[in-house]
Chains A and B, each alone.
Chain A
Amino acid sequence: MPSPDPSRSAAVAIDVGGTFTDVTLLDRNSGRVWNAKTPSTPDDPSRAFMDGIDQALALAGIGPEALGHVFHGTTVATNLILEGKGAEAALLTTAGFRHVLEIGRHDIPRKANMYSWIKPKRPVPPERIHEIAGRLDADGKEIQPLDEAAVRAAARAIAKQGIRAIAICFLHSYANPAHERRARELVRAELPDALVSISAEVLPVFREYERSMATILNVYVMPAVSTYVARLSDRLKARGVPGPLLLMKSNGGVASAATARREPVQTALSGPAAGAMGAAHIGALSGHRNLISIDIGGTSADICLIQDGQPGATVEGRVGEWPLTLPMVDIVTIGAGGGSIARVTEAGALTVGPHSAGAVPGPACYGRGGIEPTVTDANLLLGRLTPKLLDGRLTLDREASKRAVADKIAKPLGLDPAAAARGMLSIIDNNMVGAIRVVSVERGHDPRDFALLPFGGAGPLHATALARLLGVRTIVVPAAPGVLSALGLLVSNLKSEFARTYLQRPPDYDRAGMEAVYTDLERAAREWLAEEAVPESGRAIARMAALRYVHQGFELTVPWSGVEGTIEAFHRLHERLYTFAQPDTPVEIVTLRVTATGSLPRPAPLELPKAGPIDAARIDRQKVDFDGQPIETPVYDRNRLGAGARIKGPAILVQLDTTTLVYPGQEGEVDRHGCLVLRETA
């Protein structure tokens, strides 16, 4: 797929957000980048998608025929799941298990109160779940043949209801997919236009509730994602774009439109995954391969730990109320952002978030009718933000912020407004520190061994305080923190995982059997790479395995290096994560995995011209409240800082889409690729 044709040397990335669609166009040869921003069009996101591409092409002065690749991060699947607006879907399940979704894991969540908790409504109600006789045992051996007549009858009943999205999940299909495959054939014979997913292809891993849910969510989002992706492809074709459309998956890799249409649930974390990939790339460019990235927007913060240039991965994710145990980038999201609202509860506690004022009405200082004090209001009140944002397009009303903080927070708590605002920031910062600890300390990493990489509109404003709370000494602020997700898309590779549960108990590990499973998985991986048209030279295939101590219920995934080496690596990881290893205890091998990667050409990085005198970049000064100390602080225009420019705190750096706050005691330098690398001097 990497195109040798120099006329197709451009790539474009489109990140569709709730308010704006960001488009970044890259000339792979020169490394030059053009950014365009256009209002999103939620009724038909493909409109803003094309508008944005056209704008970017115009800025770059090139035609659509130059586009060798079109990368896209989409929230279509995420929003369908979170808002419960997916397709009417049906499920075929093993006889006796019609209520597999209703019952779930039969728990009331640990954090819930049993007297007020309400069980969330399932994406498929029981009347659309059809029981099919036929049973396999845990090894995949057939005990009872598939009731083919029942499958046909169910398909006809589904057809009568006008439903065309069908999931099939039978017990133990991870060990043997024969029944599911046969059922799919029968359903397709009855319903040729139906979208059908079988669990053995979506998630061939044991635990039927989680596997059923993943399969259902796949068909639940399939019609909308499929229509959407098809429309994008058509529009690109009509526009004369020659390059393929590639969509970001939750695992941080991209896949073709065809793959995304077949496994749309793989795009559930598409947006945040793109951000993590962008952070990894920028970090590596600036010489930092161990990073904690934090993307702070208006309503939420997404946090990811990046080790040796690779974002962490998990197979225990959730989307909204539902478990989604597919491989995905390990991102922790919390309801903390610039729009997070502060409140004093009836009991006298100050809380900040998760409720957000969003874009409308927005923080009080936006003057759009918001009266609740938000994190942005606290920042403005303390002088940490300048009164004008977005190159002067947005003027902030500091008095409105002060009123909101004074009335709603300071008075009830008996504090002065500045102290109340500092309290709000302490709380939101500590919430974020808590989330950072989840991806670092709780995964056995010391955050002080990592650099912090903030992005998103509010990231660089909070990062310097977060770094101090965490004891992190280096902060890497990208050149364009607002479009890091688009950059992540541009630098991504094709990636897919293939897994199978294949339980091996000691001492008789079936080495030949495992080799056969790996061979199978690798065949599937190679077929996928071929389907994605990856040339031989760009292909990489790696083996992983999930292990646990006998009798444990959770597995840890480590790279495969033969039975003994893998077990040794498992002991070490267990010790790092859980404080102890148990070398006296036998180890089970549970799931075998293969990861397939197809490399795409890397863009040449941006080279910034040398810096001139720093004073030329200073545009203003204002008083900033640093932990109760008001300090006169210079304001710099970040765009006027060239390579090698040095900044000494206290300082404020403004640019189109973000503000960076540098504390006294912090110093930084802009590197040749435009990253501002800040360090503690003391």
Chain B
Amino acid sequence: MSARPRPGADPIATQLVKGALRSAQLEMETLLARTAMSAFIREKKDFFVALFGPAGEMVVGTSIPIFGGMIEPVLEHYPRAEMQPGDLYWYNDCYASKGAVSHSPDQVFIAPVFAEGQLSGFALSWAHFNDIGGLRPGSLSPDATDIFQEGIIVPPIRLVRAGETNQDALRVFVRNSRFPHMVTGDIRAATAAVRLGERRLGEMFARFGRASVLEAFAALIAETRGVVARRMRDTVPPGRYAFAEAVDSDGQGHGPFAIRMALEVGNRAVLDASASDDQAPGPINFIMHPDVPKLVLGIYFLSDEPSALLNHGALAALDEVKTRPGSLLAPRFPAPLGQRGMTLMRTSAACLGLLAVATGGKAVASGNVYVIYYLRGIADAAGTRFLLTDGIAVGYGARAFADGIDAVYLVANENYPAEFMDLSYPVRLLRYAINPDSGGPGRWRGGCGVIREIEVLAEEAMLSIRIDGVTNPPWGVGGGLNGRGGRCTVNPDRPDRREVAPVSDGTVVRRGDVVRIETGGGGGFGHPFEREPARVLADVLGGFVSVESARADYGVALTKDGSAIDAAATAALRRTRTPAALFHRKVYRERME
């Protein structure tokens, strides 16, 4: 057993601090969800909270690889020595924060925490606000050509000085939103959560003493670091590995864009993404903070270690991350960033692809990129503006031990129930179903995406949509096939049917129009002919796989009524198995480059 206590840290006290950190985090999350006003935060739950040590090192956060270096932007503008109890800092400035946030709607609020007269930690909340001005309602549009069209930019500022709020700054911000009441409510919720975290951290210092808590922080980070470093060593042998991933389109007629990664593991582990394509004219640019690829690997390596916290120690998989200024992953100011979610998810897939290369396929297949659409217009005769920002689930990649997850968006994010949609917006949700055959066939099937169909009840509205993974579907691994699907159609079953480009804005829809969005699935794992016929049958009965796909992709024939397996025909089909390769995207391929 390699367990050895860290010198100086009391193992019992460390566990007590860990429990206190976890419950403080949970309490902050609950407060934020319960009190926020925009549906984006309260129903969809697009927010996170975290607690930090005095150097800005995270001690507990959420297992989601989209952030990094969150405290540093504040420390750059406000020296530690000048901070006071009761201060509260705020920013959403992607470029100034070097990618700590990567699109402007994400508002970061931070409070310093003092103990025994010294700066001892920070509490943070981070929430996606539904409208902060910009080109179109919702602030984000595939049509954006620079970041100024994506809403007001808040550089790191001190919103509250020793308990005294700068009301002027708040008024400027709120005046820039098309939905000032919601923004006001969301600021109250987000800052109350930070204040709660500040209080809980303060109580922790008071209870255990500053020195013990700081020792415990270090021990908790070391615990996480130990797991990640060991798994990285055990998983990735020394060598050089390369993987290329692609983003379909920038929504303005350009693409695909390649994300090219090389991982060199020797004495140090260095990830080099500089060979990625140049930045895009459209808003898919992603300021990749070096912590992002580190966190992808860190979270992956922590996946069967639930007792370790997600914290600064999770960054241990890589020693260095290189990007090239002017590229898709290091765009130059003021390139637009609003749809960076696509590039971010593809960056994750590329990191996992490197692991697949390094391990000969013993990794997770690629998941799809969560889909989002905006519908904006006038709701009623009184001229009330509405903005529907609806996130839609996709399928995740299959694993060596299980199918990919069906119909999920992202950690913690929830959907809008049909009854909530009907109650709150001038639309009617007509259909919400699993998208059959979207999961990549495999020994383990990729998760399926969904079909979401709405009828427009407003006189007129403008639709913006973002679906990736259509021309470059999520790859399968170890013989598994790629995920499928991804489409947006207006009036699919009528003569005036029209296709909507997967990444686009400006589509005008009118009362009675039906918008159908079909999202894609994740890649499969292992050869589909190795999947037990009973699982294939269950998938057919449940609406995940069609009879045709069962036959063509899985080599499983069903009886005429589709209710049972035709064993003889299945055996015959499965004798015709074609040779596989490590990856599959449209065709089997040994390398993704």
Is B418's CB under 8 angstroms from A351's CB?
no
Is A552's CB under 8 angstroms from B412's CB?
no
- Flag whether B382 is at the interface (Cβ < 8 A): no
Which residues does chain A contribute within 8 Å of B36, judged by CB atoms?
552-553
Within 8 A of A (CB), among B397-449: 399, 402, 405-415, 417-420, 422-423, 428-434
- Flag whether A468 is at the interface (Cβ < 8 A): no
Segment at the A interface, from B150-158, B242-250, B298-306 = B298-306
Is A349's CB under 8 angstroms from B63's CB?
no
Is A106's CB under 8 angstroms from B414's CB?
yes
Is A126's CB under 8 angstroms from B543's CB?
yes
Is A108's CB under 8 angstroms from B405's CB?
yes
Is A96's CB under 8 angstroms from B433's CB?
yes
Which residues does chain A contribute within 8 Å of B42, judged by CB atoms?
552-554
Which residues does chain A contribute within 8 Å of B396, judged by CB atoms?
114
- A434 to B36: give the CA distance in the assembly, Å: 25
Per-residue CB contact flags for chain B residues 1-31 toward chain A (1 = under 8 Å, else 0) read 1111110000110111011101100010111
- Flag whether A508 is at the interface (Cβ < 8 A): no
- A422 to B302: give the CA distance in the assembly, Å: 29
Segment at the B interface, from A50-58, A577-585, A599-607, A646-654 = A577-585
- Flag whether A549 is at the interface (Cβ < 8 A): yes
**In this complex, what residue of A is CB-closest to B14?**
A349
Is B3's CB under 8 angstroms from A578's CB?
no
Contact of A206 among B196, B407, B423 (CB under 8 A): B423
State the Cβ distance, B61 to closest chain A Cβ, in Å: 11
Main secondary structure of the interface of A (DSSP, over half): loop
- Flag whether B364 is at the interface (Cβ < 8 A): yes
Which residues does chain A contribute within 8 Å of B255, judged by CB atoms?
none
- Flag whether B192 is at the interface (Cβ < 8 A): yes
Known: A96-B433, A107-B409, A126-B543. A442 touches B3 (CB 8 A): no
- Flag whether A98 is at the interface (Cβ < 8 A): yes
- A414 to B433: give the CA distance in the assembly, Å: 55
- Flag whether A347 is at the interface (Cβ < 8 A): yes
- A554 to B22: give the CA distance in the assembly, Å: 23
State the Cβ distance, B203 to closest chain A Cβ, in Å: 10
Per-residue CB contact flags for chain B residues 205-238 toward chain A (1 = under 8 Å, else 0) read 0000000000000000001101100000000000
- A98 to B432: give the CA distance in the assembly, Å: 8
**In this complex, what residue of A is CB-closest to B417?**
A207
Is B185's CB under 8 angstroms from A423's CB?
no
Which residues does chain B contribute within 8 Å of A137, judged by CB atoms?
422, 428
State the Cβ distance, B115 to closest chain A Cβ, in Å: 19
Main secondary structure of the interface of B (DSSP, over half): mixed
- Flag whether A64 is at the interface (Cβ < 8 A): no
Which residues does chain A contribute within 8 Å of B306, judged by CB atoms?
113
Known: A113-B299, A347-B226, A413-B3. A208 touches B418 (CB 8 A): yes
Which residues does chain A contribute within 8 Å of B224, judged by CB atoms?
347
- Flag whether B372 is at the interface (Cβ < 8 A): no
- Flag whether A5 is at the interface (Cβ < 8 A): no
Contact of A126 among B34, B392, B413, B542 (CB under 8 A): B542
Is A114's CB under 8 angstroms from B63's CB?
yes
- Flag whether A310 is at the interface (Cβ < 8 A): no
State the Cβ distance, B412 to closest chain A Cβ, in Å: 4
- Flag whether B35 is at the interface (Cβ < 8 A): yes
Which residues does chain B contribute within 8 Å of A99, judged by CB atoms?
407, 432-434, 450, 543
State the Cβ distance, A57 to closest chain B Cβ, in Å: 47
Is A349's CB under 8 angstroms from B19's CB?
no
Contact of B414 among A107, A119, A442 (CB under 8 A): A107
Which residues does chain A contribute within 8 Å of B63, judged by CB atoms?
112-114
- A383 to B514: give the CA distance in the assembly, Å: 72
Is A107's CB under 8 angstroms from B411's CB?
yes
Is A206's CB under 8 angstroms from B15's CB?
no
Is A438's CB under 8 angstroms from B414's CB?
no
Within 8 A of B (CB), among A531-572: 549-554
- A344 to B18: give the CA distance in the assembly, Å: 15
Is B305's CB under 8 angstroms from A347's CB?
yes
Is A348's CB under 8 angstroms from B299's CB?
no
Segment at the B interface, from A186-194, A425-433, A522-530 = A425-433
Within 8 A of B (CB), among A218-241: none
Which residues does chain B contribute within 8 Å of A389, judged by CB atoms?
none
Is A106's CB under 8 angstroms from B409's CB?
yes
Is A434's CB under 8 angstroms from B23's CB?
yes
State the Cβ distance, B493 to closest chain A Cβ, in Å: 13
State the Cβ distance, A586 to closest chain B Cβ, in Å: 9
Per-residue CB contact flags for chain A residues 81-119 toward chain B (1 = under 8 Å, else 0) read 000000000000001111110111111111011111111
Show the binding face of B for A, using Cβ within 8 Å.
1-6, 11-12, 14-16, 18-20, 22-23, 27, 29-31, 33-39, 42-43, 45, 62-64, 181-182, 185, 188, 192, 195-196, 223-224, 226-227, 299-300, 302-308, 364, 392-393, 396, 399, 402, 405-415, 417-420, 422-423, 428-434, 450, 453, 538, 541-543
| 4 interchain residue pairs of minimum CB distance | A96-B431, A553-B42, A348-B3, A551-B37
Kindly list 18 other residue pairs between chains A and B, CB separation below 8 angstroms, not including A103-B434, A350-B11. Answer: A99-B432, A99-B543, A103-B450, A106-B392, A107-B410, A107-B411, A110-B45, A113-B306, A117-B405, A118-B402, A206-B419, A345-B3, A349-B15, A415-B11, A422-B12, A550-B37, A553-B42, A579-B31
> What are 19 A-B contacts defined by CB distance under 8 Å?
A98-B433, A103-B407, A103-B432, A110-B62, A114-B405, A119-B406, A138-B419, A143-B428, A171-B419, A206-B419, A207-B419, A347-B3, A347-B224, A412-B3, A414-B5, A422-B12, A423-B15, A427-B19, A431-B19
